[in-house]
Amino acid sequence: MDIDRRNLMKGLLAGGALLALGTPAWTFAEEPNRTAKRCLLFLGDNYVDERFANGVRAACQEVGYDGLETRQVDGGLLSDPGKLVSLLEQTKGARWVAVMDDASAAVFQELGRTAGGRLLSVGSHASAKDDACPLRHTWLAASSAQGAGGVLATRLIGAGESFSITESFLDGSSAASKLTNWSASGFSSYRSAGSDAIHLHCSGLSLLEGCAQLGLAGVEGWTPIPSHVSQREVVSRQSPQWVESVGYAVAASALGIQSIPESCSSRAFVHRAFNPHSLPPTQRFVSFVMDI
Amino acid sequence: MASKFIALPKSVSEKSFAAAIAEFRRIVGQDSVLVTAEQLAPYIKTMMPVPDADHTPSAALLATTVEQIQKIVGICNTYKVPIWMISTGRNFGYGSAAPAERGQVVLDLKRMNRILEVDPDLCFALVEAGVTYKQLYDYIQEHKYPLWLSCPAPSAIAGPTGNTLDRGVGYTPYGEHFLFACGMEVVLANGEVLRTGMGSLPKSNTWQVFKWGYGPYLDGIFTQSNYGIVTKFGFWLMPAPPAFKPFVIQYENEDDIVEIVETIRPLRISGVIPNAIVIAHALYEAPTKAKRSDYVTGPGAITDEAVRQIMKDHKLGVWNVYAALYGTQEQIDVNWKIVTDAFSKSGKAKILTEEEAGDDPAFQYRAALMRGDMTLKEFSLYNWRGGGGSMWFAPVSQARGSETLKQMAMTKRILGKYGLDYSGEFIVGMRDMHHIVDVLYDKTDPAMTKAAYQCFDELLTEFSNEGYGTYRVNTAFMDKVAHTYGPVQRHVHKTLKKALDPNGILAPGKSGIR
């Protein structure tokens, strides 16, 4: 089955219904930009596996994709990397959505490269009770079309935790002909000057505070992005489980359910919750979307 | 106008680069020239505290033959395109597969992975640059050769060529890898192919058995350098010993490092303990058994009290000395008495044999490394703090107790200043110690990433001020380390570079050489 063809069509058809459910219509691409015959969920024997998988399955369900295969390596990749090598050989042509710990991720990226894998995105996700920003997500994506940060931001913003999401896009030019001025609902958005533009979306904190949190120097050279483009956004289907939300966002990206690809080399969402619901325990994991 | 490429080499126009890419495709084929973001992304992510964008390649080439590489360097000379060579690219905390500078073209030799010869009588191997230790291990097992490998910690996925060229180490008696290198084939920047040592002699059958050849010994200048592309590599293999006895000796106090080193040095120099002994701190071993967050949260380095608790919970010493005896059972019995007598004198040491250590995960992986088996357990370090940040800090110390204590204290103090933990070990060389510290930090935390950079910079500065040199470093700090070795050495390196690679096409920036 061709995920992008069949299910994107389903997704487009279902767009109205999803909008009613609260899923933003803009998350669907106008055209499929990637093709994969088969989607595989790889669980690296991490304690977040189950919750991440729930999010992935929710995304699959929303686009009507019922062909998701799941694989797991008991004991993790450090115990037997040979199993992963075999699996990579057996799944040529598949799009992998993977989750694992940092150590396994270092091995996975290497073995994926050796297998000729094309890396669409790799994300590092962390929660910490004691940090100024309890939830942090850092992505490297091939292009903004593969960015999962927008979807994740809209799912997290109502969940009651402060968070930061940063995305770096290798091919910042790919979205040059697409939307350049987009403002996420609930965020005040800014664009930095220069050829390697950065888009920064702040919620609950000022531009200066947002920059400081991300380690960006000063507020010189930033211009606001008008908010009119975001009027259609409706966001209500947040999951209280942040790991599940990450799984959803990563899978949504893998399945071609896109956030608007902004024309920038990097993008960040920063949200400060004033009445945090609960402080999450320390958890860390890495996500991948890779075509093998 | 948007570029077709995600990066361009320095001072090369897009038009010129596109022409070079077209020629590369003609040589290695369309599918073996990678230029899209998705194809190049696996080469980009680093563990260093600098933006990955600083190390983004413009393309990657997958060569399969020496002839292709000769033509590739010709194209690079024509268009002044720099290439960054990797065998497997698994240098992790020393810099991964990403080039030293943005825009360099990665020349990935992973498809040059033929095992050309393994001689079970003379105990040597000749391999192409992309061969991994696991490949060679499987080959030796299949042929039932009584030979052992010496591997670095990422054994299964790294390879002997890249590791030795970066002067990496293993944990068997052959652990100082370059000491056991014997013969290289090198494609020079002008396209000529050099075989070092006896390999230059037509019909020679001594290329992998006699290192020195005739005239100036050249192999060394192709290690940690950018003077050529090593395509074939010969090295010696260890005969499998009839008996093997790994053991661990634990000590309770950090100051005990003085006694440990003073006890080990004569045993190592005399060959009673023949392998590259490791003296690992509790925090280097703990990640195989625990996570940092199980013990501490909040900013700042882990406390000594927490380390004590980890030691208690996981049966670790603050220092854990891993070593082994090799030979006949009779030899081992004699040497075991010498070792136990030496370590028992002060009453501080707790000596554990393999039987006594049982299935302890730290002991298991250390024992595997000391017999050249494949294991990736040391990667557990990356889960200690998490977040994907890692830099190996690798100063060299004399094998003298007072020196190791001084280095440990300096390192711990500087790391602590920046809120980072001391995850260190000493690997005992012939008369030196490789002091290896994994500077682990959370790359998702901008403040910690900045601190990690400053910390590493300060470590290099403070150590060089004390006369301690770093033997190996990641690509973000190569210039700084080269600078610590002084202007004369840098000038000689540069002179050689100009002579061998006048257009500067081979890995500019490697070891600070351009």
Q: Are residues B84 and B119 in the same domain?
A: no
The continuous run of DSSP H or E covering B323 comes out as: strand B319-327
| Interface probe, candidates B382, B390, B423, B440, chain A, greatest A C-beta count within 10 A | B382
Q: What's the rounded mean pLDDT across residues B315-320? A: 98
pLDDT in tens, B427-445: 998 899 999 999 999 999 9
A137 and B444 within 8 Å at the Cβ level: the answer is yes
Do the chains contact at A136 and B88, CB–CB below 8 Å? no
What single-letter amino acid sits at B484? T
Cβ distance B111 to B63 under 8 Å? yes
> Distance between CA atoms of A115 and B108, rounded to whole angstroms?
13
Catalytic residue among B43, B94, B174, B441: B94
pLDDT at A195: 63
Instruction: Spell out where B162-253 has E strands.
Output: 181-187, 193-195, 229-236, 238-239, 243-251
Give B452-502 pLDDT, tens digit per residue. 999 999 999 999 999 999 999 999 999 999 999 999 999 999 999 999 999
Which pLDDT does position A220 carry in this prediction? 80
How far apart, in whole angstroms, are the C-alpha atoms of residue A192 and residue A213?
Answer: 16
Does B280 share its domain with B427? yes
Instruction: Tell me the β-bridge partners of B60.
Output: B34, B106
Do B140 and B215 lie in a common domain?
A: yes
Nearest CA to A1 out of A40, A42, A36 is that of A36
Shared domain for B228 and B279, answered yes or no, is no
> How many A/B residue pairs have CB atoms within 8 Å?
125
CATH number for position B20: 3.30.43.10
B511 within some domain: no
Report the alpha-carbon distance of residue B222 to residue B185 in Å, rounded: 10
| Whole-number Å distance between alpha carbons of B249 and B201 | 49
How many structural domains compose chain B? 3
B264 and B148 share a domain?
no
Give residue for tokens 């199980």: B294
Task: Considering only the beta carbons, identify the residue of B42, B381, B442 that sits closest to A109.
Answer: B42
Of residues A264 and B371, more confidently modeled: B371
Q: Is residue B317 part of a domain?
A: yes
> CA of A86, closest CA in chain B: separation in Å?
14
> Pick from B239, B274, B306: which residue ends a domain?
B239
Max Cα-Cα span within chain B: 75
Query: What is the domain range of residue B42?
Result: 14-111
Percentage of chain B beyond pLDDT 70 is 100
Are B423 and B284 spatial neighbours (Cβ–Cβ below 8 Å)? yes
Statement to judge: residues B294 and B202 lie in one domain = no
Q: Which of B205, B239, B273 is the last residue of a domain?
A: B239
The last residue of one of the domains, among B224, B239, B254, is: B239
**Would you call B376 and A107 a contact, using CB atoms and an 8 Å cutoff?**
yes
Question: What percent of chain B lies above the pLDDT cut of 90?
Answer: 95
My answer on whether B283 and B196 are in the same domain is no
- pLDDT tens-digit map of B409-419: 999 999 999 99
- Give the Å distances, CA to CA, from B439 to A101, A285, B240, B285: 18, 19, 35, 14
One domain, residues B342 and B461: yes
Query: What is d(CA B514, CA B510) in angstroms, rounded to the nearest whole number?
Result: 8
Q: Which of A114, A140, A143 sits opposite B45 (nearest CB)?
A: A140
For residue B342, give the CATH number of its domain: 3.40.462.10
CA distance A127 to B121: 56
For residue A262, the model assigns a pLDDT of 77
Evaluate whether residue B3 is within a structural domain.
no
- Per DSSP, the three-state class of B72 is helix
Query: Cα–Cα–Cα angle for B65, B512, A106, nearest 5°?
Result: 65
Write out A217-281 in H/E/C secondary structure. Answer: CCCCCEEEECCHHHHHCCCCCCCCCHHHHHHHHHHHHHCCECCCCCCCCEEEEEECCCCCCCCCC
Asked if B212 and B162 sit in the same domain, the reply is yes
Of A90 and B2, the one with more pLDDT: A90
Tens digit of each residue's pLDDT (9 = 90 or more) over B377-405: 999 999 999 999 999 999 999 999 999 99
B141 assigned to some structural domain? yes
Q: Is residue B67 a part of any domain in this protein?
A: yes
The per-residue pLDDT for range B49-106, each reduced to its tens digit, is 999 999 999 999 999 999 999 999 999 999 999 999 999 998 888 988 999 999 999 9
The sign one gets for the Cα dihedral B317, B321, B327, B332 is negative
Helix (H) or strand (E) holding B487: helix B487-500
Q: Would you state the structure tokens that stand for residue B169, as one six-digit string?
A: 């180490």
Burial classification of residue B31, based on how many CB atoms lie within 10 Å of its CB (0-12 exposed, 13-18 middle, 19 or more buried)? exposed
A158 burial level (CB within 10 Å; 0-12, 13-18, 19+): middle
**What's the CATH code of the domain at B140?**
3.30.465.10
> Is B322 one of the annotated active-site residues of the chain?
no
Considering the domain architecture, whether residues B103 and B119 belong to the same structural domain is answered as no
Per the CB < 8 A criterion, the answer to whether A67 and A11 are in contact is no
Per-residue confidence (pLDDT) for residue A181, from 0 to 100: 53
> Residue A77 and residue B92: Cβ atoms within 8 Å?
no
Q: Which residues of B touch A198 (CB under 8 A)?
A: none
- Same domain as B252, residue B169: no
* B298 band by pLDDT with thresholds 50, 70 and 90: confident
Asked if A117 lies within 8 A of B42 by C-beta distance, the reply is: yes
C-alpha to C-alpha distance for A253 and B209, rounded to whole angstroms: 55
- Among B133, B227, B418, B471, the active-site one is B471
Whole-number average pLDDT of chain B: 96
Same domain for B298 and B438, yes or no, is yes
ipTM associated with this complex: 0.95
Per residue in B19-38, pLDDT (tens digit) is 999 999 999 999 999 999 99
Q: Would you write out chain A's pLDDT as a tens digit for each of its 292 residues? A: 344 433 333 333 333 333 333 333 323 333 344 445 689 999 998 889 999 999 999 999 988 899 999 999 887 788 888 889 999 999 999 999 999 999 999 999 999 999 999 999 999 999 887 666 789 999 999 998 899 999 999 889 878 789 999 999 998 755 444 555 555 678 888 988 776 788 899 999 999 999 988 888 777 888 888 765 443 334 445 566 899 999 999 999 999 875 666 778 899 999 998 776 666 678 899 999 999 9
